[in-house]
Structure 1
């Protein structure tokens, strides 16, 4: 992939100029840990006599040591890597790959550090400091910039390592725990600390080629996450955080503190469904079909989707309904559509489901699993679709004593990822949360679902005839009878009828609010009147907050995009998908329809109906549980008195 308009090139000659320094770092550094404690591990075994050693680079850089001068406790990462195979005299291809990956990653980090110094003026301050000419008024700035350079160097080192090591990963994994030796005094000390801690991890976990690769990858991921959190407390990082660089030889993009990943799709084994095989669920099916095409408008060069810029892109949605109403079928349909579109366009498609298997008894592991799921889907180099089935079982409800620590960790990760301070919606992916019991989902997490898909299954007589015929298959001679198969599933007609049904609320509690406001102000045909209606809803349900209003207005913007991208745009990528970003944006704008008061009122009612439905179910479940508890108490008292009598 070529450079985009907003990318700067990190030139190959600049990276290669740091190869010798990077090799010296791997060969030996002298570091005394400041934050972490050393782990008990066997020392690196020395080479047997007669075994030749490789050429050694003798560094003259202060703080670095060579074989001849290193203290016994010094960090000799190359020797540590060689020792990860029961001291085989020959270096394996995997070990050589790890050495090359680490040298390359260090060189990229050093080159990026230099680029940051030039961008921020730190290079000039370093020169003044060496010459003794740094004024007292610049020392605070100097220290802040050194800390920022250290954070940049560490993150780029970890990011490049994770990216370059990824093709060599196997099914083997290791749990290394939290990274501790994260120093930000200056870039050199920061890298020394990172290499020291990586050496500690390799000494403990790297016993063969598979665990060697897994340990390096796990450490890089942990270091990236730790330094990204640390960076939130540091200043002067805007030039890096808002920048965009490309290492062309590796197809490696550096976008601030966003992890880079290979643009590889996942191998899907699910049984895809066609739209006509989803019976009923008209609005949910229509929105899923539109969303599948919206995702395809994503521009890989600009790393942005015109729908995300214009409004109307669905980043998160909640699909709820009774068991057996078609949630799994809806997932299979949407994943199948995106998969087919991506195959035509040659895009990488990645689908993943976060299931209850990701809840772990180890502290912090459930959160790590959820974060890995999020990062896998939001990768800007792929089209992503992430699902969280039975989210009421997976994510814990805060304040609920029955929620495990692992469930609460997952809740925290999902809330931060779906609408946190660092959430960036590029428009290349979407997340669907599905539940039979959405009332059991944490209120704040549920409100982070920007759209609501009511999955209510077949409703009409025609729906039931269609689904019976579909599931019976063709291996029978029973006549169809007086019925036009699937005519009721004509999407535009069915959707129009479904939307019109929301001109008035469907939940009794909300209908009372609507009727009262309508009696006071008449038709809700102005923003002021609709605002009054919203306030009345909030008075009836205090959970109806500003986030609910945002979700409603987002849904209205989706309705303004109430069109399906033409099928030929998906079938022939040259017509739309491969056009420049601005042309795609213009083509979409030409299809946009005006926003009407009917649209706004329907979306208010749709969203509020769902919240009242959840609240009513939640209250009813709580009442039933209390009644059951009271009944048990009375029965216990009766048996107790009988036993005493």
Structure 2
């Protein structure tokens, strides 16, 4: 992949010149832990002497000693890794991959540290300090720049380690806990602290070879997270966070304290569905089909999607409906469409689902799982689709005593990721939240869903005939009868009818508000009249806040893009997908339609209907629960009194 305009090349010769220093670090060094407490581990076992099948690195540092609470510890990562869980005197492919990955990561970290040092003026201060001519007024800047270099080099080491070893990960998982030995005196000491703690984790947690890569990657992820938090308040990091380096040999992009992800597709083990196999759910199906094509407009060079810039891109949406109405089928259809489009275009597609099994009893782990899920889908090098099925069971309501700590962690992560201060919508991915009981989702999290897909399943006689014929298959001789199969599923006709049905609200509570306002101001044909309607809704439902208005206007912008990108644009990438960003933006602009008052009113009603529906269900569920409790109390009283007589 070629360099983009905002990238600098990190030259291979500048990396390889640090290989010897990196190899020496892995071979052995002294380190006395300053912050972390050393675990009770045995020294790294030396391999049998006389095995001359490979080059062995030996430390040139004299006086290396084994673990002691009073003296430095000798860290020998080469020997630790070579002895990890196996008795074979030869280095295994897994061990070799880890060692090569660590050496490469250290060399890249040292190269970036050197580049940062030159760019930030630290190199000159180092020379002055070495010569004893560093003036007193520069000592503070010198210390701050050393700390900045330490943070940058450590993060690049962890980031590159995770990136290079990720392709070797299997299903095995290892919990390493929090990284503690974060040192910022200088870059070398920082790397020594990181390698010392990695050595400790491997010694304690790697009982078999299949855990080695998992341990190294888990450690790297924890180290990255800790360093990124530390960097938020650290000074003099501009030369690092303001630059982007590309390592061509590894296809690695170093972008400040942003994790690099290998641009590889997910291996999908799901049964894809075609649009005609989704019966009913016309608006949800139509918007899902549009969104699948919108994602394909993403420009990997510019790292932006014209739809996200022009308005009309759906970053988050919620699909709700009763059990069995087709939410899973909708996911299968959308994932299948994006997968097929990406294969035709040669793009990496990553699908990931966050399920109930990601909620962990280990404190903080659920939040980490949620962060990892979000980061994987957000990766700007891929087209991403993330789903959260049964979100009412996964994300807990704040203040709900029945929600576990893990569920509360997940809620906090999703709220920040979907509409937080640092949320950047590039247009390369979308998140879908699905629930049978959306009224049980935290109000603030639910309102972060920019679009609402009502998944209500088959509704008409024609829908039920179509779904019966579809599910019956072809292994029968029963006549179809007087019916045009799937004609009712003709998407444009059905969608037009569905949108027009929202000229008036569907929910009884909202209909009363609508009729009251309509009786006062007449047709809602001006912004002032629509604002009056919105205020009237807010007076009835205080949860109808400014975020609701934003979601409605976003939905209106989506309607302005009320067109499907032509199928041939997907099937023949040269017609659209491979064109430059500005050309794609101009082609989309030509298809855009004007916004009408009908669109705005329909979207207000669609969104408000969903909120009233959730509120009614929530209130009804609470009332039913109270009635059951009162009935139990009354029955208990009668049984108690009967027993007394």
Band of TM-score, shorter chain = over 0.9
Matches within 5 A, 1:325-336: 325-336=325-336
Q: Structure 1 residues 560, 99: closer, same or farther in 2, change over 3 A?
A: same
User: Is the deviation greater in 68-77 or in 320-329?
Assistant: 68-77
Q: Structure 1 residues 522, 80: closer, same or farther in 2, change over 3 A?
A: same
Give me the whole-angstrom Cα distance separating, in 2, the residues matched to 1:215 and 1:593.
53
Confirm whether residue 69 of structure 1 aligns to residue 66 of structure 2. no
* Contact 2:47 2:79 (C-alpha < 8 Å) held by counterparts: no
Partner of 2:512: 512
* Contact 2:155 2:224 (C-alpha < 8 Å) held by counterparts: yes
Partner of 1:435: 435
Partner of 1:152: 152
Taking only aligned residues, the RMSD between alpha carbons, in angstroms, comes to 1.9
Partner of 1:609: 609
Task: After TM superposition, give the deviation of residue 48 of structure 1 in Å.
Answer: 4.1
> Helix, strand or coil: the match of 2:283?
helix
> Helix, strand or coil: the match of 1:398?
coil
* Contact 2:264 2:349 (C-alpha < 8 Å) held by counterparts: yes
Partner of 2:632: 632
Matches within 5 A, 1:460-471: 460-471=460-471
Give me the whole-angstrom Cα distance separating, in 2, the residues matched to 1:453 and 1:531.
24
* Contact 1:23 1:57 (C-alpha < 8 Å) held by counterparts: yes
* Contact 1:172 1:210 (C-alpha < 8 Å) held by counterparts: yes
Give me the whole-angstrom Cα distance separating, in 2, the residues matched to 1:137 and 1:513.
69
Partner of 1:61: none
Give me the whole-angstrom Cα distance separating, in 1, the residues matched to 2:56 and 2:92.
19
Task: After TM superposition, give the deviation of residue 449 of structure 1 in Å.
Answer: 0.9
User: Is the deviation greater in 396-405 or in 121-130?
Assistant: 121-130
Q: Structure 1 residues 113, 631: closer, same or farther in 2, change over 3 A?
A: same
Partner of 1:14: 14
Task: After TM superposition, give the deviation of residue 496 of structure 1 in Å.
Answer: 1.3
Give me the whole-angstrom Cα distance separating, in 1, the residues matched to 2:146 and 2:525.
59
* Contact 1:31 1:75 (C-alpha < 8 Å) held by counterparts: yes
1:64-93 deviations in Å (ceiling 9; x for gaps): x63533233221212211221445432223
Q: Structure 1 residues 524, 135: closer, same or farther in 2, change over 3 A?
A: farther
1:330-367 deviations in Å (ceiling 9; x for gaps): 11111111111112112222222111122222222222
User: Is the deviation greater in 499-508 or in 317-326?
Assistant: 499-508
Partner of 2:70: none
Partner of 1:229: 229
Matches within 5 A, 1:370-381: 370-381=370-381
Partner of 2:69: none
1:264-304 deviations in Å (ceiling 9; x for gaps): 21222211111111111111000000001011111222222
Q: Structure 1 residues 570, 629: closer, same or farther in 2, change over 3 A?
A: same
> Helix, strand or coil: the match of 2:33?
coil
Partner of 1:25: 25
Give me the whole-angstrom Cα distance separating, in 2, the residues matched to 1:487 and 1:55.
71
Task: After TM superposition, give the deviation of residue 635 of structure 1 in Å.
Answer: 0.6
Give me the whole-angstrom Cα distance separating, in 2, the residues matched to 1:147 and 1:551.
43
Partner of 2:323: 323
* Contact 1:35 1:180 (C-alpha < 8 Å) held by counterparts: yes
Q: Structure 1 residues 399, 568: closer, same or farther in 2, change over 3 A?
A: same
Give me the whole-angstrom Cα distance separating, in 2, the residues matched to 1:129 and 1:445.
53
* Contact 1:27 1:67 (C-alpha < 8 Å) held by counterparts: no
Give me the whole-angstrom Cα distance separating, in 2, the residues matched to 1:489 and 1:86.
60
Task: After TM superposition, give the deviation of residue 550 of structure 1 in Å.
Answer: 1.6
Matches within 5 A, 1:418-567: 418-567=418-567
Confirm whether residue 247 of structure 1 aligns to residue 247 of structure 2. yes
Q: Structure 1 residues 632, 265: closer, same or farther in 2, change over 3 A?
A: same
> Helix, strand or coil: the match of 2:452?
strand
Task: After TM superposition, give the deviation of residue 551 of structure 1 in Å.
Answer: 1.3
Give unmatched runs, 5+ long, in structure 2. Answer: 67-72
* Contact 1:45 1:87 (C-alpha < 8 Å) held by counterparts: no
Give me the whole-angstrom Cα distance separating, in 2, the residues matched to 1:93 and 1:480.
60
> Helix, strand or coil: the match of 2:575?
coil
User: Is the deviation greater in 431-440 or in 393-402?
Assistant: 393-402
Say how many residue pairs are matched: 639
User: Is the deviation greater in 458-467 or in 128-137?
Assistant: 128-137
Give me the whole-angstrom Cα distance separating, in 2, the residues matched to 1:107 and 1:12.
10
Give me the whole-angstrom Cα distance separating, in 1, the residues matched to 2:404 and 2:6.
45
Q: Structure 1 residues 135, 510: closer, same or farther in 2, change over 3 A?
A: farther
The alignment's TM-score, normalised by the length of structure 1, stands at: 0.95
* Contact 1:318 1:432 (C-alpha < 8 Å) held by counterparts: yes
* Contact 2:86 2:209 (C-alpha < 8 Å) held by counterparts: no
Confirm whether residue 175 of structure 1 aligns to residue 181 of structure 2. no
Partner of 1:201: 201
Give me the whole-angstrom Cα distance separating, in 1, the residues matched to 2:276 and 2:591.
25
